[in-house]
Amino acid sequence: MTRTRNVFAALMVAAAASCAVAGAALAQEPREVGGVITANEGSTVVIRNAEGDHRVNLTSSTRIRGTTGVLNVRGEDHPAADLIPGLTVSVEGVQDGAGVTAAEVIFKEGDLRTARAIAGGLVGTEARVAENAERIDNVGQLVQAGRTKVFFALGSSALTDEAKASLDAIAAQARGLNTAYRFAVVGRADPTGNAAANERLSQRRAQAVIRYLERSAGITPDKFLLPAALGSAPVAHDPDVPQNDAEARRVTVTLAVSASARRP
């Protein structure tokens, strides 16, 4: 009888241990998350995608890597500080409660350059200048005073007559202001071709717009924020998502003034 009880007890312990292992395995379920970073809180980043916001925990063993080329060849390691808002990333890790603990965070080096350009010039997306606090040459907090979009032919950075007319109009609006102003210029491309080529094309388009405004519309170089070339990359919180390829082949020009100048 005693032997039977001992066997039964051993079986119960084994069953309990098996359940504990199963529970631990469930808690450590592999998880992949992709999206755009909206916040970096040091040891945690917030990633947003179509499903909502996801908190991703970073540890000392988390590998953060950039990739290059069409084949996404893995390149150099990066510090957690490079996981800046606006950067599109892919995370591999395990589910950890309500969040994800990252084993590896991967992004394209070109996307990091784009995110840095946006942070340096717009601190946000192309259509949110009015919502972001950016101080440039003591102008103060900038708010939108006007905007125009110019469109391009497939694979081209040449300005059409219609585009030139739109740029002339917003330049005239700027010159008519009785306060300091800045222009934010953001280039885009459609998804045709590879990401690197699209980024270069969107850069050429942005520069074509800036050259025209400087040489033909009387806008001096000091009036421009750092231009951004988005290529075909998605934009966090984008309120003006291109509805088709033709809409994506564009440069958006935002006229911004000091918030203090707009106060009554």
Domain that holds residue 250: 122-262
Query: Same domain, yes or no, for 222 and 155?
Result: yes
**Domain end point (choices 50, 78, 108):** 108
Q: How far, in Å, CA of 196 to CA of 211, rounded?
A: 23
Give the total number of structural domains in the chain. 2
19 domain residue, yes or no: no
Q: For 213-238, write each residue's pLDDT tens digit.
A: 999 998 988 888 777 778 887 765 56
Question: Structure tokens of 150?
Answer: 């110019």
The least confident of 110-124, 138-152, 154-168, 199-213 is 110-124
218 domain residue, yes or no: yes
What's the mean pLDDT in 37-60? Answer: 85
Q: For 57-110, write each residue's pLDDT tens digit.
A: 999 899 998 887 655 566 778 888 888 887 888 899 998 888 899 999 998 887
Q: What is the CATH number of the domain that holds 101?
A: 2.40.50.140
Query: Same domain, yes or no, for 133 and 97?
Result: no
115 domain residue, yes or no: no
Could you tell me which of 163, 176, 156 has the C-alpha nearest to residue 255? 176
Query: Same domain, yes or no, for 37 and 97?
Result: yes
Query: Same domain, yes or no, for 239 and 173?
Result: yes
* Inter-residue contact 47 to 39 (CB < 8 Å): no
